[in-house]
Amino acid sequence: MADGHAKPNHDYHLVDPSPWPIVGSFFAFLTAVGAIMWMKTLSLFGLHMGGYVFGAGFLGILYVMASWWADVIKEAQQGDHTRVVQISHRYGMILFIASEVMFFVAWFWAFFDASLFSNEAIQAARVEFTGGHWPPKGTEVLNPFHLPLLNTLILLTSGTTVTWAHHALLHNDRSALKNGLILTILLGAIFSCVQAYEYAHAPFGFKDSIYGATFFMATGFHGFHVLIGTIFLFVCLMRAYAGHFTPKQHLGFEFAAWYWHFVDVVWLFLFCCIYVWGSWGAAVE
C-alpha cells in the first residue's frame, strides 16, 4: 500500500488515511443532539446546555471542513489531481449542483402550490385572511423594482466579474484574476447587506402568513448560498495570492465559478417568480 501511494503506476489518486470523516461524523452528531436539546429545552444534569452543545458541534464542523479542504488543496498542489481524477471531481460537483437545484425546486414548489391554490393553503395555515387571493388579502409586499431589482443588477454584475477573473486566469493574468475576485467578493457582500436591510424593513413577517413563510424560506436559503459562495471565492482569492492555480490546473476556482453562476440563475428565477409574479396586484410597501 505504501508503494502504491509513493509510486503509483496509474492516473488514480489513492487517498491517504484521514481522521476527518469520523471526526466530522462525531461533530455532526453533537450538533444534531445540541439542536434537539435546544429546541426542546432539554436539560443535562439539571442545566439547559442545548445551545452550548449545538455551538460546540457547529464549531467542530467548521474546523473539520477547513482542515479537510486544506488537505484537498495540498493534494492538488502536489499534483495528485490528475486529469482522470479531475473528471471524477467534475462529476461530483455536477451532482452536487443538481442536488442544490432540486433543493430550490422544493421551495419553488411550495410557493407555487400556495399561490395557485391559495384558498387551501391559507386555510391550512389557520390565519385570518380571506382565501382565494394571492398574496393573502391584507399582506403588504416589497416593491420588486426597488431593492430586489438593485440586488439583481449586483448579482448579475458579479457573474460578469467572476467570468472576467476566470478568463484572466486562463491567460495567466494574475493581477486581473485577483482584481476580478476582489470585485466579485465585494459585490457578493453588498448583495448580502442589501438583503439583510430588506429583511429588517419587510412589511410582513415569517409567521404572518403562508406568503411570508414561503418568501423567507426561498429567498433566505438563497441568501445563505450567496454567503457560502462568497466564502468560496474568498478562499480562491487567498489561494491566488499564495500562487496557486495555473491556466491548466485550477479546478477549485472553476468549481467556485460554477457555484456562483448557479446562485445567479436561481436568483433570476426568484426575482421573476416570487418578487414580481408572486406579488402582482398586492399592496406595495
Rounded to an integer, the average pLDDT of 102-129 is 75
Spatial neighbors of 213 by CB under 8 A, at least 6 apart, are 125, 206, 207
By percentage, how much of the chain surpasses pLDDT 70? 89
Which H helix or E strand runs over 69?
helix 50-77
Rounded to an integer, the average pLDDT of 20-48 is 91
The pLDDT tens digits for 214-242 are 999 999 999 999 999 999 999 999 999 99
Say what the pLDDT of residue 118 is.
66
Which pTM was predicted?
0.85
Rounded to an integer, the average pLDDT of 122-142 is 66
Residue 284 bridge partners (DSSP): 141
Position 264 confidence tier, pLDDT thresholds 50, 70, 90: very high
Which domains are delineated in the chain?
Answer: 1-80 (1.10.287.70), 83-284 (1.20.120.80)
Say what the pLDDT of residue 130 is.
47
Residue 68: which of 32, 34, 22 has the closest Cα? 22
Among the residue ranges 8-17, 67-76, 189-198, the one predicted with the least confidence is: 8-17
Query: 67-89 burial string, b = 16+ CB within 10 Å, else e?
Result: ebeeeeeeebeeebbeeebbeeb
Considering the chain, what is the average pLDDT of its residues? 89
Rounded to an integer, the average pLDDT of 124-148 is 73
Q: What is the DSSP letter of 153?
A: H
Residue with cell 445540541: 34
Position 123 confidence tier, pLDDT thresholds 50, 70, 90: low
Residue 30 scores a pLDDT above 70: yes
Say what the pLDDT of residue 25 is.
97
Peptide bond into 135 cis (omega under 30): yes
Say what the pLDDT of residue 197 is.
96
By percentage, how much of the chain surpasses pLDDT 90? 67
